[in-house]
Amino acid sequence: MSRYNSIVILTGAGLSAESGLHTFRDKDGIWAKYDYREVATPEGYKRNPKLVLQFYNERRKQNADVQPNAAHLALARLEAEYPGGVLIVTQNIDPLHEMAGSKKLVHMHGEIMKALCAACATRHALHDDITLKSVCPSCGRTGVLRPDVVWFGELPYEMERIYRAILGCDLFISIGTSGTVYPAAGFVEEALRVGAHTVELNLEPSHGISRFIDAIHGPATEVVPAYVERLLKRARS
Ligand code: BV8
C-alpha cells in the first residue's frame, strides 16, 4: 500500500445499512416499496406533495433513532489522524457521518434533517414533520417548505468542490454504493483519469466494479475499519 497525499471517499446507503437504515436497491430496499418517480422527483412533488412530504417525514423519524456504526467512526478517525487531505462525499441524507465526528464532508444529495424553502431558497434545521401547513421561518409563506434533498433530475450540491477534490486526489475510495446513479457513479472515471488509485469497499461488486483497481468485499463495519488501520499504519511507517 502506497502513501497518499489526498483522499476522496464516496459513500452510499450501504455504509448506513448496519446502523439500521434501509438501502435503496436491496430486496427490502426503499425502491422496492416506493416508486422513485412518485416520491423523489420534482414532478412527483408537484403531482402529490402530501405523499412526498409523508415519505420523507417517515424516513426522518427512522433517521432520528439510529447511531453511527464502526465504519462511520473509522472514517472520522481517518480524517482526524491522517497526515494528508481527507474529504467525504456522501450520497446519504442521514446525519451519521457528522454524528461520528466527520467534518470535511459534502452531502451531495442533501440532508433529511433540513427543510428547503421553495420560495426564498433558505434552509432550516428540522425537528418535526413538514406539512402543507408548515410556514417558512424566513419568508413566512405557508406550504413552501420541502425536504432539503436532491431529487432525480435536480443538480446535486457542491459539484464544483467535489470535482476539484477528485481532480486533486491520488486515492479514491467508494464505500457502500451500487454505482447506479449519476453523476456520483461517474466519479471513479474522473479519478482514474487523473491517475488516482481507486478502491471499492462494498458488500458485493457494484455496477462500476470494472473501474476499480482494488476491491474488498464484505460488510462495511468489518472492511472499512481494517482498511483505515492499514492507511494509518502506512502513513506512520
Ligand atoms: C442529475 C436523494 C442533471 C433522495 C438520490 C447518466 C446516465 C443515466 C442517467 C443519468 C445520467 N445522468 C443523470 C441521470 C439521471 C439520474 C440517474 O442517475 N438515474 C439513474 C437511476 C440511472 N441522475 C439524476 O437525476 C441526478 N441529477 O443528473 O441532474 C442536471 C444537470 C444540470 C442541471 C440540472 C440537472 C440526481 C440524482 C440524485 C437523486 N437522489 N437520493 C433520497 O435519498 O430520497 S439518489 C439515491 O440513490 C442515493 O442518494 C444514491 O445516490 C443513489 C444510489 O443509492 P446507493 O447509495 O448506491 O444505494 P443502493 O441501495 O443503490 O446500493 C447500496 C449498495 O451498498 C449496494 O451495492 C450493496 O451491495 C451495498 N451494501 C449493502 N449493505 C452493505 C453494503 N455495503 C457494505 N456494507 C453493508 N452492510
Q: How far is the C-alpha of 217 from the C-alpha of 132, rounded, in Å? A: 44
Q: Is the distance from the beta carbon of residue 22 to the nearest atom of ligand 1 less than 6 Å?
A: no
Mean pLDDT, the chain, integer? 97
Asked whether residue 2 carries a pLDDT value surpassing 80, the answer given is no
Summarize pLDDT for 132-157 with one digit per residue, the tens: 999 999 999 999 999 999 999 999 99
Region 59-79: mean pLDDT is: 97
Which residue in the list 97, 107, 109, 197 is annotated as catalytic? Answer: 109
Residues in contact with 107: Cβ distance below 8 Å, sequence separation at least 6, in sequence order: 90, 92, 93, 157
User: Looking at ligand 1, which residue's alpha carbon is closest to its atom 51?
Assistant: 91
Find all residues with CB under 8 Å of 193, minimum gap 6, and list them.
Answer: none
150 CB near ligand 1 (under 6 Å): yes
Percent of the chain topping pLDDT 90: 95
Pick from 36, 235, 66, 19: nearest CA to 149: 36
DSSP string, 192-226: HHTT-EEEEEESS--TTGGG-SEEEES-HHHHHHH
- Per-residue pLDDT tens over the stretch 95-104: 999 999 999 9
